[in-house]
């Protein structure tokens, strides 16, 4: 597997194929073809520009490998990063297709945060001083992350959540700048462990915490469910527009995934058992979005035209109520219902500015479906005490 194939597969599974672009050729004018980047991840107002270099025929001579590294990584890849930034700035619209084959027009002016990454796969003779290079600071492109393939893979697979990777890169940039000033050297595992442990700065011993990391993937991983989201959308604005729902989950940190997975598991269990409890909700203020999870009302028909209509109506009403109570502009809702030995998961997104509605408030008070919300801190990662 080539480095480009490896990266496309890794990014597609972590950032989801809807937001991953690995075929990035575009034609700004007839007869001209350019490449935006080797790999491009685009989630709303955030983008990752990734340039990749792989040593096709490594030599046994360390000096030959050093020359390859300087030319391929510190010259060519840096220049390509600069080109990518220039393309986004110069072209109003760049049409590229994601890993689902869906074509999108990228407008660089809508992107507020750009993470720049050089990813490389070298031969065994590459000198250690080259492998220790973790960043490059360009006068025009700014801070550029430099990752060896296995380190990048470990980071992405461990963090596993798009928003966590974005936050990690910001932490990594600040940490490497501060550690360079202090002349302290750390390896990638030190930075990763320090980020996950909420350390202000990594130390050369930070990596030891990774041995105590508790694997709670079953309690946090939403990817298997998100992969099937397109088949279950019930959107009042556009029945095929499921990507916006994916984006709201992609913007959540791991603690948000934990909160969503916990509530999703509860309503699925209720649906399977023919039970109903008060719907669950939580809000994530940084994205101005609320999330609602509910089982369908027991005893009501859930299949056939009438059942589908009842599910849709119930989902939209509950989502609108949770959105209103949380005073957010956006509301994502999930409704679980039983269908014989199987169950449905219906999803929707409501997106319009919040404004006070006394009549709606009176209706909510009469129904009394939702309980009060309290502020609660949820950790993203857990470590086992020694």
Given 213, 246, 261, the domain boundary residue is 213
- Asked whether residue 34 falls in the same domain as residue 128, the answer is yes
Q: Where do we find the tokens 């101005």?
A: 288
Res 30 pLDDT > 80: no
384 occurs within a structural domain:
no
pLDDT tens-digit map of 277-294:
899 999 999 999 999 999
332 occurs within a structural domain:
yes
CATH code: domain of residue 195: 3.40.91
* Predicted local confidence at residue 281, as pLDDT: 94
- Asked whether residue 244 falls in the same domain as residue 196, the answer is no
- Asked whether residue 36 falls in the same domain as residue 176, the answer is yes
- Asked whether residue 157 falls in the same domain as residue 235, the answer is no
pLDDT-derived band of residue 240, with 50, 70 and 90 as boundaries? very low
Question: How, if at all, do strands 289-295 and 330-339 pair?
Answer: parallel
* Predicted local confidence at residue 265, as pLDDT: 93
pLDDT-derived band of residue 170, with 50, 70 and 90 as boundaries? very high
- Asked whether residue 233 falls in the same domain as residue 334, the answer is yes
- Asked whether residue 140 falls in the same domain as residue 31, the answer is yes
* Predicted local confidence at residue 263, as pLDDT: 94
372 occurs within a structural domain:
no
- Asked whether residue 88 falls in the same domain as residue 71, the answer is yes
Domain that holds residue 358: 219-367
- Contacts by 368-374 with C-beta closer than 8 Å and gap 24+? 369/278, 369/279, 369/318, 369/321, 370/278, 370/279, 370/281, 370/321, 370/322, 370/325, 371/278, 373/281, 373/282, 373/283, 373/325, 373/326
- Report how far Cα 145 is from the mean position of its chain's Cα atoms: 18
Given 197, 213, 229, the domain boundary residue is 213
Given 182, 213, 244, the domain boundary residue is 213
Per the CB < 8 A criterion, the answer to whether 116 and 59 are in contact is no
98 occurs within a structural domain:
yes
- Asked whether residue 274 falls in the same domain as residue 307, the answer is yes
- Asked whether residue 273 falls in the same domain as residue 362, the answer is yes
pLDDT-derived band of residue 386, with 50, 70 and 90 as boundaries? low
- Asked whether residue 144 falls in the same domain as residue 275, the answer is no
pLDDT tens-digit map of 311-326:
999 999 999 999 999 9
Q: Where do we find the tokens 């039970």?
A: 275
382 occurs within a structural domain:
no
* Predicted local confidence at residue 354, as pLDDT: 96
Res 167 pLDDT > 60: yes
Res 239 pLDDT > 80: no
208 occurs within a structural domain:
yes
* Predicted local confidence at residue 232, as pLDDT: 56
* Predicted local confidence at residue 59, as pLDDT: 96
376 occurs within a structural domain:
no
- Where would I find the H helices in the chain? 3-14, 62-71, 78-90, 128-131, 149-159, 162-182, 188-196, 217-220, 223-226, 243-250, 254-272, 304-326, 358-367
- Asked whether residue 121 falls in the same domain as residue 265, the answer is no
385 occurs within a structural domain:
no
Stretch 150-161: mean pLDDT: 96
Stretch 113-131: mean pLDDT: 97
- Total number of domains constituting the chain: 2
pLDDT tens-digit map of 99-119:
988 889 999 999 999 999 999
- Asked whether residue 117 falls in the same domain as residue 266, the answer is no
pLDDT tens-digit map of 174-225:
999 999 999 999 999 999 999 999 999 999 999 999 999 998 888 898 888 8
Strand partners, 341: none
Res 343 pLDDT > 90: no
């Amino acid at each position: 597997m080539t480095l480009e194939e490896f990266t496309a597969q890794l990014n597609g599974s972590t950032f989801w194929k809807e937001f991953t672009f690995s075929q990035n050729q575009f034609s700004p004018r007839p007869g001209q073809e350019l490449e935006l980047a080797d790999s491009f991840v685009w989630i709303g107002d955030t983008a990752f520009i990734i340039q990749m270099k792989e040593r096709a025929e490594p030599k046994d001579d360390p000096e030959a490998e050093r020359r390859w590294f300087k030319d391929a990584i510190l010259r060519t890849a840096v220049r390509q990063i600069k080109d990518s930034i220039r393309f986004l700035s110069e072209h109003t619209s760049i049409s590229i297709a994601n890993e689902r084959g869906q074509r999108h027009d990228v407008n660089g002016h809508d992107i507020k945060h750009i993470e720049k990454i050089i990813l490389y796969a070298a031969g065994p003779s590459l000198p250690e001083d080259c492998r220790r290079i973790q960043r490059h600071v360009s006068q025009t492109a700014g801070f550029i992350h430099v990752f060896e393939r296995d380190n990048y893979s470990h980071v992405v697979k461990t963090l596993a959540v798009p928003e966590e990777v974005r936050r990690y890169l910001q932490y990594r940039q600040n940490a490497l700048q501060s550690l360079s000033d202090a002349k302290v050297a750390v390896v990638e595992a030190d930075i990763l462990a320090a980020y996950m442990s909420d350390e202000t700065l990594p130390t050369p011993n930070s990596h030891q915490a990774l041995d105590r990391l508790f694997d709670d993937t079953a309690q946090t991983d939403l990817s298997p469910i998100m992969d099937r989201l397109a088949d279950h959308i019930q959107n009042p604005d556009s029945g095929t527009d499921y990507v916006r729902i994916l984006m709201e989950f992609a913007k959540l940190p791991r603690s948000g995934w934990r909160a969503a997975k916990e509530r999703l598991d509860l309503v699925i269990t209720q649906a399977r058992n023919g039970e109903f409890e008060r719907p669950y909700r939580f809000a994530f203020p940084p994205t101005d979005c609320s999330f609602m999870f509910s089982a369908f009302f027991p005893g009501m028909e859930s299949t056939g035209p009438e059942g589908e209509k009842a599910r849709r109506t119930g989902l939209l009403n509950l989502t609108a109520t949770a959105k209103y109570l949380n005073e957010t502009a956006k509301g994502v809702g999930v409704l679980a219902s039983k269908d014989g030995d199987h169950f449905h998961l219906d999803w929707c997104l409501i997106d319009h500015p919040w404004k006070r509605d006394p009549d709606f408030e009176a209706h909510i008070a009469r129904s009394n479906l939702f309980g009060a919300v309290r502020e609660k801190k949820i950790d993203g990662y857990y470590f086992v005490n020694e």
